[in-house]
Structure 1
Amino acid sequence: MADIARMAGVSISTVSRALAGNPLIPKPLRDQIVEIAQTHGYVVNQSARSLRLRKTDTIGVIIPLAHETGQLISDPFFLEMIGRLADEITRRNYAVLLHKVVVTETGWLERIIQAHRADGLLLIGQSNQHEVLNKVARTYKPLVVWGAQLPGQSYCSVGSDNVAGGRLAVAHLAKTGRKRIAFLGAVDAPEAAQRFDGYQQGLADAGLPFDPALVVPAHYTMDQARETIAAFIASGVSFDAVFAFSDVIALAAIAALTEAGRSVPGDVAVVGFDDIVLARHSAPPLSTVRQDLALAAREMVDRLFARMAGDPAGSVLSPVELIVRGSSA
């Protein structure tokens, strides 16, 4: 920087401001300094700049998967959510730093924060780390989580009404005459537990008994879910409908049912949750409980930037919508 200052006949501070695009430096002089820098191969050391300014212009996006270590970032829900978050973040001229966290030793989130590689953090899902999030949120404010709202929660979350979604799905299936409605999905993460609660409430609303034999703890990945559902079909348990925790599990169910010679929706009606892009293009198209992920991403990023600025920003719960397509019609 001192070399460039000598060549341009200006001070080092003027070079620094010019390379940062400061409008207080006249544009012709800025252009001259930038040209000298480019000619001599000078680039700003962003790590040093971030240390000096204590600002990285980067947002960390974390996917915690302690509850389902085999799940991949290429999961359709994650891809869509990451894409929408990235659009909102880059619109604000910030970069995105992606973390997938499978092993969760004590202090894993604190270590990410202490590395100072991001100005704020967005988490996609709570996994089984609710208490960790609560502890960190007491002192670290630029943190927003996609997930369920839970009692005693101290962190900011954005999520959908999972209980209402479960009730909507079961009510729809019951209205079409289905009596033996299975629930597919593990219930060890907060969102899944709430959707299962909605499933149980929906059965009670429809006057249908709860049968533990119809609860199938399927994994979240397509291949594993398909194997689990195939085994459930082979067990001989009678069922005429499925409400799945996610669209991925619902699509796995349709594949397994088709392989077993059962028609969808003739023999078994299927409803998922999320409304990922694939849901509209499956055969038959998948009925699902729709979450507005575009709105969710916007709410998450808006709240994060408000918290980064020191402004209050609380949690929000968005309504869901039942989308009826060919898998249950």
Structure 2
Amino acid sequence: MVGKREQEKQSLQAGAATGEVRTLADIARIAGVSAGTVSRALAGKSLVNAETRERIRAIARQHGFRPNQMASRLRSRRTGVVGVVIPLGHEKRQHISDPFFLTLLGHLADELTESGYDLMLSRAIPDGTSDWLERMTGSGMVDGVIVIGQSNQFDVIEQVAATYRPMVVWGHYRPGQTHCAVGTDNEAGGRMAARHLIDAGARRLVFLGDTSGLEIAMRFRGAAEEAQAARIPLSHLSAGLAGEDMGPGIRSVLSEMDMGVDGIVAATDLIAMTALRTLHEIGRGVPDIVQIVGFDDLPLAAQTMPPLTTIRQEIAAGAKAMVERLRTRIEGEGTSGLVMAPQLIRRGSTRR
């Protein structure tokens, strides 16, 4: 009597010889199971035990069988794609090549790939309506949307989130908001930066950055509150985030800065790194004359001269949390946001 394994072996050989393994039913016939079991096994469903799943996958591999992903997605009404949108409402000339965007995008791409999703990227220039976001959420091309940054578009994101649930946003959390946000406590980070400069001996501070975006506005608020509590003056100098304009803009601003300023709270690491170079060029040494604290802790921050003291955002952990929450929302369940604690990273651009 021929055993089951021997029958399977003979079926494999027969299938290979005739080239007849083209459908799930062909795999099912060879494996001695139903087509439904084959479908569930190839999809990795836990309803099929591990041994059977691996046996079915081995048969599929031997025959070079690839399931029709498009048909599968049509049946499940899923696309297998997540849209990632970067809104540039307050700084329209900023580029996706900005180091912060690239760092976060890299972590998001890794997490989405591990979860079986492809990524569709969009750089949106808001035009005063919600169209920039609705074009993605209403396209039918994605299963869910990740928005990187709220820019000055908080109200638009709230409006869309009221009817579109599978969306997660990197940004600031306001109590009672509708959209699910993952991000750092920016206000606490601003306080932390100012406090560190004050503890390191700075007595006249400046906040360097454009505060029209929500996250940076909260960093400024935190720094201003800490300076006020310590009775230390803090002024605000605007600096944009557009790459080609940042260097000349910061040079112009810092060249006119009150010579008594001895501490800079930079809105981002990129602004801080540009300020470091400019201060060196105009002969104001860091940290001897002016101390600087950045915000983000990008990989480049440790490579400057001197290395940049900064406020760390947990970008990798945030990307993981965003994808986990989005997957839950795609399945129709609700999720809460996440506010991550900032961390001071001491390096050579401050004196302690």
Fold shared per TM-score above 0.5: yes
**Match for residue 55 of structure 1?**
78
Q: Are the structure 2 counterparts of residues 219 and 53 from structure 1 closer, same or farther at C-alpha, using a change threshold of 3 Å?
A: same
Alpha carbons of 1:31 and 1:125: their partners in 2 closer, same or farther (altered >3 Å)?
Answer: same
- For each residue in 1:161-187, what CA deviation from the matched residue of structure 2 results, as whole angstroms up to 9, or x when unmatched? 111111111111111221111111000
Quick one: which of 308, 312, 320 aligns to 2:334?
312
Q: Distance in 1 between matches of 2:204 and 2:236?
A: 11
CA apart distance, 1:272? 0.3
Q: CA deviation at 1:296?
A: 0.8
Shift in Å, 1:229: 1.9
Aligned structure 1 segments of 4 or more residues deviating by more than 4 angstroms = 2-5, 7-11, 13-20, 22-38
Please give the alpha-carbon distance, in whole angstroms, between the structure 2 residues aligned to 1:322 and 1:30.
49
Give the one of 276, 279, 282 matched to 1:254: 276
| Aligned residue runs from structure 1 range 77-116, under 5 A | 77-104=100-127, 105-116=129-140
Cα distance in 1 for residues equivalent to 2:331 and 2:168: 14
Q: Does 1:229 align with 2:250?
A: yes
Q: Structure 2: state its 5+ residue gaps.
A: 1-19
Residue 117 in 1 paired to residue 107 in 2? no
Question: Match for 2:98 among 61, 69, 75?
Answer: 75
Task: Classify the secondary structure of the residue corresponding to 1:97.
Answer: strand
| 1:143 alignment partner in structure 2 | 167
Q: Which moved more, 1:29-38 or 1:73-82?
A: 29-38
Greater alpha carbon shift after TM alignment, 162-171 vs 151-160: 151-160
Equivalence map 1:194-273=2 (5 Å): 194-210=218-234, 214-238=235-259, 239-273=261-295
Residues 4 and 33, structure 1, Cα contact 8 Å, conserved in 2? no
Inter-partner Cα distance in structure 2 for 1:89 and 1:45: 17
Larger mean CA deviation between 232-241 and 245-254 belongs to: 232-241
| One-letter code aligned to 1:323 | I
CA distance in 1, matches of 2:317, 2:21: 49
Q: How far does residue 44 in structure 1 lie from its aligned partner after superposition?
A: 3.4
User: SS of 1:144's equivalent?
Assistant: strand
The aligned runs of 1:146-157 (5 Å cut-off) are 146-157=170-181
- Per the alignment, do residues 145 and 30 of structure 1 end up closer, same or farther by CA in structure 2, a change over 3 Å counting? closer
Pairing partner for 1:191 from 209, 215, 218: 215
Q: Distance in 2 between matches of 1:169 and 1:303?
A: 30
Shift of 1:236: 4.9
The answer to whether the 8 A contact 1:15-1:33 is kept is no
SS of 1:248's equivalent? helix
Moved more, 49-58 or 150-159: 49-58
- Displacement after TM superposition at 1:8 (Å): 5.6
Distance 1:194 1:282 in 2: 26
Report SS of the residue matched to 1:98. Answer: strand
Q: How does 1:38-53 map to 2 (within 5 A)?
A: 44=68, 46=70, 49-53=72-76
Amino acid paired to 1:153: Q
Contact 1:291 1:320 in 2 (8 A): yes
Q: 1:222 & 1:88 partners in 2: Cα distance? A: 28
Kept in 2: contact 1:225–1:253 (CA 8 A): no
Q: 1:278 aligns with which of 300, 304, 309?
A: 300
TM (norm. structure 2) is 0.81
CA contact (8 A) 1:61 1:121 kept: yes
1:315 is displaced (CA, Å) by 1.3
Answer with 288-297 or 224-233: which moved more. 224-233
Q: Please state whether the residue corresponding to 2:42 is helix, strand or coil.
A: coil
Which deviates the most, 236-245 or 179-188?
236-245
Distance 1:322 1:92, change over 3 A: same
Q: TM-score by structure 1 length?
A: 0.87
Distance in 1 between residues matched to 2:177 and 2:328, nearest whole Å: 19
* Alpha-carbon distance between aligned partners in 2 of 1:307 and 1:131, rounded to the nearest angstrom: 21
What is the DSSP-based 3-state SS (H/G/I as helix, E as strand, rest coil) of the residue aligned with 1:60? Answer: strand
Task: For structure 1, list consecutive stretches of 5 or more residues without a partner in the other structure.
Answer: none
1:220-244 per-residue CA deviation (whole Å, 9 max, x = no partner) reads 1344222122112322522111110
AA aligned opposite 1:138 = A
Could you give the per-residue CA deviations for residues 120-143 of structure 1, whole angstroms, max 9, x where no partner exists? 111110111111111111111111
Structure 1: which amino acid aligns with 2:310?
T
Q: Could you report, residue by residue, the CA deviation over 1:43-93 in whole angstroms, capped at 9, with x for unpaired residues? A: 8362x5433321012222111112111111111111111111112111112
Report the Cα distance in structure 2 between the residues aligned to 1:8 and 1:307, rounded to whole angstroms.
36
Larger radius of gyration: 2
Partners of 1:9 and 1:268 in 2: CA distance: 71
Kept in 1: contact 2:79–2:143 (CA 8 A): yes
Question: Is the contact made by 1:184 and 1:249 (CA closer than 8 Å) also made in structure 2?
Answer: yes
Give, in whole Å, the separation in 2 of the partners of 1:321 and 1:88: 23
Q: How many residues align?
A: 320
Query: Do the aligned partners of 1:242 and 1:268 also contact (CA within 8 Å) in 2?
Result: yes
Matched-pair contact (CA < 8 Å) for 2:203–2:262: yes
| Offset, 1:14 | 4.7
